[in-house]
């Protein structure tokens, strides 16, 4: 396997805000790599730097061996990108949008026409190829953008929140496309998302990123295994007392989150009655109990002490959002 | 060259599809032409034109149509910025100079087409083209005005965040450029303190050039007009390119 992307100590500052803080990782050819984190964590900034849209403050990165600062054109030719916000010309038809892109990348007319047909079939938009994009739904636009991003046969595809704002059905559809694409064409895909399920379903490896720093990087399976098995969540007003009495050798870890006691352990089903018995003996009222297999949400929670969605509405987050809007 | 053509082509496709824009932007000079032309035709007596104000006014209205269309075309880049399409162009392996030139030629072409429409309509209200050469001279000046002010629009758009400042630019920059250009009245009829200002207005030379082409009469020598508006077109292209290169999204 060859290496498609190398990132080393990449940093981006906006005045006194460090958006991306010394991140390093490598992506192999054909791999789907996810940057998972809350809004404002630095995912889009990282992608923008790799796509030569923003200059890093320090550090360095290469895409297909090309330096993102010294060989911008080389990088641009090697990558396809689907932005978080729409970037189609709504006044043009689907085919015209594709054609414009093909011309910009200097694809010869004959090949251009063939590929446009092929890709529009792939994303199931061929019947609408001569319709103005303005009449397209959100999902159709996304699919068109992905098709357009592939037109010049990039070896690396950047997807920034590819399924943001789409309905579950379209989202599922897109996931299938993306997975099939990377397999068939051996394209490396780097995608950002704040949907846990998306990262879990699609990615070969995931970097969890928060406040500009990578806090964990591994396969989804390893990340989930790393937090110590199944999770039992007990909601109780006496959560502190509960946490002190639950000391058993089979408990791998125990965390308090709001009014919940979260216990990680193997074979949760076998131990649940024991736990309830212990709590009853100490006369602790239990509001609810649940068992689930660990998800990436649990991984994020265990690393950061918060859930991914809580970030929204946070003060720092607002500032970042504001900054991002200004940059658009 | 192929990239410049690509961007020009997109402008043309969009232009052909926007019927309302085509009609909207010929309506203003057309109404000016009809109301002022017919209203003042018998009242105003202009040296060299006698009691034929409408003949005097036609070149001015052609220039007006080119001016407004081209500024508007240039400023449209803001929409590309807001709708995200500009990003698609900027991450492609093409230079910003190519994008800027494609956009400029695209805007200038639509502006010249709009000007020709006014010219054709004018044939019905009294325009008599003197010669093919005269028509070509007028066309040349229209192209230069188109390039100048599309580039001017791009320069402004590169510095603007959204369309809120558009009205301000129109009212305080473009309208004075139009009003002081001698499109509506001969520059020699202005009071002596005001006429030097018109000499600083690049559009004055554009209007005079078109007027020379269409009617054979002008107050400024067509060679001087060509030099000034030609120089202005080059300068604006350079400024527009410079500012467009620094655009960030």
Q: Is residue A318 part of a domain?
A: no
Question: Do residue A40 and residue A26 come from a single domain?
Answer: yes
Cross-chain Cβ contact A100/B10 below 8 Å: yes
Burial of A1 (0-12, 13-18, 19+ CB in 10 A): exposed
Which among A77, A81, A148 has CB closest to B93? A77
Q: From B81, which residue of chain A is nearest by alpha-carbon distance? A: A328
* Residues in a beta bridge with A261: A234, A256
Q: Would you state the structure tokens that stand for residue A291, as one six-digit string?
A: 């068992």
For chain A, the first-to-last Cα distance in angstroms comes to 37
ipTM value: 0.88
Q: Is residue A317 part of a domain?
A: no
- Residue A273's pLDDT is 87
Helical segments of A30-167, H only: 43-50, 72-78, 94-104, 109-122, 138-150
Q: Give the closest residue to B111 by CA, choosing from B56, B74, B83.
A: B74
Task: Write out chain A residues lying below 8 Å of B90, CB-based.
Answer: 53
Burial of B81 (0-12, 13-18, 19+ CB in 10 A): buried
Sheet containing A251-257, strands listed edge to edge, beginning at the edge strand earlier in sequence: A251-257, A260-265, A230-235, A288-292
What CATH number is given to the structural domain containing A260? 3.30.70.980
Q: Is residue A63 part of a domain?
A: yes
Residue A305, classed as helix, strand or coil, is coil
Cross-chain Cβ contact A53/B18 below 8 Å: no
> Which of A223, A249, A269 delimits the end of a domain?
A223
How many distinct structural domains can be found in chain B?
1
Q: Is residue A309 part of a domain?
A: no
- Residue A1's pLDDT is 63
Helix-then-strand count for chain A, H and E: 12, 14
Question: Do residue A159 and residue A190 come from a single domain?
Answer: yes
* Mean pLDDT of all residues belonging to chain B: 91
CA–CA dist B151, B166 (Å, integer): 15
- Residue A84's pLDDT is 87
Shortest Cα–Cα distance, A101 to chain B (Å): 8
Question: Do residue A214 and residue A233 come from a single domain?
Answer: no
Sign of CA dihedral A305, A307, A308, A309: negative
How many other CB atoms are found less than 10 A from the CB of residue B26? Answer: 20
- Residue A178's pLDDT is 85
Output B124 or A306, whichever has higher pLDDT.
Answer: B124
- Residue A220's pLDDT is 92
Question: Do residue A79 and residue A106 come from a single domain?
Answer: yes
Q: Give the closest residue to B71 by CA, choosing from B199, B167, B140.
A: B167
Question: Do residue A62 and residue A100 come from a single domain?
Answer: yes
What secondary structure does DSSP assign to A1-29, as a single string?
--EEEEEEEEEEEETTEEEEEEEEEEEET
Average of per-residue pLDDT across B172-191: 89
Question: Do residue A15 and residue A46 come from a single domain?
Answer: yes
Question: Do residue A172 and residue A203 come from a single domain?
Answer: yes
Q: From A97, which residue of chain B is nearest by alpha-carbon distance? A: B10
| B191 interfaces chain A, CB cutoff of 8 Å | no
Average of per-residue pLDDT across B59-71: 95
How many distinct structural domains can be found in chain A?
2
CA distance readout (Å), B113 to B47, B66, B101, B119: 30, 8, 18, 10
Q: Is residue A105 part of a domain?
A: yes
Question: Do residue A174 and residue A68 come from a single domain?
Answer: yes
Q: Report helix, strand and coil shares of chain A as percent, to nearest 5.
A: 40, 25, 30
Question: Do residue A18 and residue A106 come from a single domain?
Answer: yes
Burial of B71 (0-12, 13-18, 19+ CB in 10 A): buried
Asked whether the beta carbons of B107 and B155 are under 8 A apart, the reply is no
Question: Do residue A175 and residue A194 come from a single domain?
Answer: yes
CA distance readout (Å), A34 to A159, A221, A262, B17: 9, 14, 26, 41
Cross-chain Cβ contact B87/A53 below 8 Å: yes
- Residue A22's pLDDT is 94
Task: Give the pLDDT confidence of B192-211 residue by residue, as tens digits.
Answer: 888 888 999 999 999 999 99
Question: Do residue A131 and residue A265 come from a single domain?
Answer: no
What secondary structure does DSSP assign to B130-194, as a single string?
--HHHHHHHHHHHHHHHHHHHHHHHHHHHH-SSGGGHHHHIIIIIHHHHHTTTSSS-GGGS-TTT
Task: Give the pLDDT confidence of B4-37 residue by residue, as tens digits.
Answer: 999 999 999 999 998 888 888 889 899 999 898 8
Domain extent for B92: 2-245
From the candidates B22, B85, B246, which should be mutated to test the interface with A, based on the most A CB atoms within 10 A? B85
From the candidates B5, B10, B99, which should be mutated to test the interface with A, based on the most A CB atoms within 10 A? B10
The per-residue b/e assignment along A120-156, b for 16 or more CB within 10 angstroms, e otherwise, is: bebbebeebbeebbeebeebbbbbbbbbbbbbbebbb
**What's the whole-model pTM score?**
0.83
Q: Percent of chain B scored above 70 by pLDDT?
A: 99
Output A264 or B143, whichever has higher pLDDT.
Answer: B143
Would you give per-residue pLDDT tens digits along chain A (328 residues)?
689 999 999 999 998 889 999 999 999 999 999 999 888 889 999 999 999 988 999 999 999 999 999 999 999 999 999 998 889 999 999 999 999 999 999 999 999 999 999 999 888 899 999 999 999 998 899 889 989 998 998 999 999 988 887 788 878 888 888 888 888 888 999 999 888 888 999 999 999 999 999 999 999 999 988 888 888 998 988 888 888 888 888 888 888 888 888 888 888 888 888 888 888 888 888 888 889 888 888 888 888 877 776 544 444 444 544 454 444 4
Q: How far, in whole angstroms, is CA B25 from its chain's centroid? A: 12
Which residues are within 8 A (CB) of A308 and not within 5 positions of it... i.e. 6 or more apart? A37, A38, A194, A196, A297, A300
Of the pLDDT bands very low, low, confident and very high (cuts 50, 70, 90), residue B182 is confident
Q: Would you state the structure tokens that stand for residue A152, as one six-digit string?
A: 């010049």
Q: Give the closest residue to B45 by CA, choosing from B182, B205, B189.
A: B189
- Residue A309's pLDDT is 62
Domain extent for A63: 3-223
**How does DSSP classify residue A144?**
H
- Residue A321's pLDDT is 47
From the candidates B3, B7, B89, B93, which should be mutated to test the interface with A, based on the most A CB atoms within 10 A? B93
Average of per-residue pLDDT across B213-228: 93
Question: Do residue A92 and residue A34 come from a single domain?
Answer: yes
């Amino acid at each position: 396997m060859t290496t498609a992307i190398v990132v080393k100590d990449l940093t981006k500052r906006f005045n006194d805000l460090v958006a991306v803080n010394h991140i390093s990782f490598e992506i192999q050819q054909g791999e789907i790599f996810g940057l998972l984190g809350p809004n404002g964590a630095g995912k889009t900034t990282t992608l923008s730097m790799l796509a030569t849209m923003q200059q890093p403050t320090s550090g360095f990165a290469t895409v297909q061996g090309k330096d993102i600062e010294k060989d911008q054109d080389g990088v641009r030719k090697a990558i396809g990108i689907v932005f978080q916000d729409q970037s189609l010309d709504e006044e043009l038809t689907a085919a015209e949008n594709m054609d414009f892109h093909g011309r910009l990348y200097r694809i010869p007319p004959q090949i251009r026409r063939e590929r446009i047909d092929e890709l529009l079939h792939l994303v199931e938009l061929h019947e609408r190829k001569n319709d103005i994009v303005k009449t397209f739904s959100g999902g159709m636009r996304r699919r068109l953008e992905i098709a357009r991003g592939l037109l010049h046969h990039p070896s690396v595809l950047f997807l920034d929140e590819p399924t943001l704002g789409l309905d579950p059905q379209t989202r599922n559809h897109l996931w299938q496309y993306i997975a099939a694409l990377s397999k068939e064409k051996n394209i490396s895909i780097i995608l950002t998302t704040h949907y846990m399920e998306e990262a879990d379903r699609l990615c070969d490896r995931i970097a969890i990123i928060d406040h500009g720093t990578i806090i964990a990087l591994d396969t989804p399976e390893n990340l989930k295994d790393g937090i110590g098995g199944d999770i039992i969540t007990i909601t109780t007003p006496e959560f502190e007392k509960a946490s002190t009495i639950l000391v058993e050798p089979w408990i791998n870890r125990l965390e308090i989150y709001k009014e919940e006691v979260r216990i990680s352990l193997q074979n949760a089903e076998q131990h649940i009655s024991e736990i309830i018995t212990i709590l009853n003996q100490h006369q602790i009222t239990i509001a609810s109990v649940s068992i689930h297999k660990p998800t990436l949400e649990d991984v994020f929670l265990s690393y950061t002490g918060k859930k991914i969605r809580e970030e929204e509405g946070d003060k720092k987050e607002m500032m970042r959002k504001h900054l991002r809007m200004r940059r658009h | 060259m192929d990239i410049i053509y690509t961007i020009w082509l997109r402008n043309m496709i969009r232009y052909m599809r926007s019927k309302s824009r085509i009609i909207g932007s010929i309506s203003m000079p057309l109404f000016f032409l009809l109301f002022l032309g017919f209203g003042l035709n018998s009242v105003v007596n202009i040296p060299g034109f006698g009691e034929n104000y409408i003949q005097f006014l036609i070149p001015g209205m052609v220039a007006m149509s080119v001016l407004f269309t081209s500024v508007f075309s240039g400023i449209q880049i803001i929409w590309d910025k807001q709708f995200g399409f500009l990003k698609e162009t900027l991450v492609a392996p093409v230079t910003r100079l190519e994008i800027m030139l494609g956009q400029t030629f695209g805007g200038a072409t639509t502006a010249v087409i709009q000007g020709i429409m006014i010219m054709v309509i004018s044939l019905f209200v009294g325009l008599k083209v003197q010669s093919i050469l005269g028509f070509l001279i007028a066309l040349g000046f229209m192209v230069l005005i188109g390039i100048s002010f599309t580039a001017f629009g791009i320069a402004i758009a590169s510095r603007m965040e959204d369309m809120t400042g558009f009205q301000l630019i129109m009212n305080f920059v473009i309208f004075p450029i139009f009003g002081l250009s001698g499109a509506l009245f001969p520059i020699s009829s202005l009071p002596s303190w005001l006429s030097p200002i018109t000499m600083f207005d690049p559009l004055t030379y554009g209007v005079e050039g078109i007027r020379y082409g269409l009617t054979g009469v002008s107050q400024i020598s067509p060679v001087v007009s060509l030099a000034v508006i030609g120089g202005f077109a080059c300068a604006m292209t350079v400024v527009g390119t410079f500012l467009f290169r620094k655009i960030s999204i």
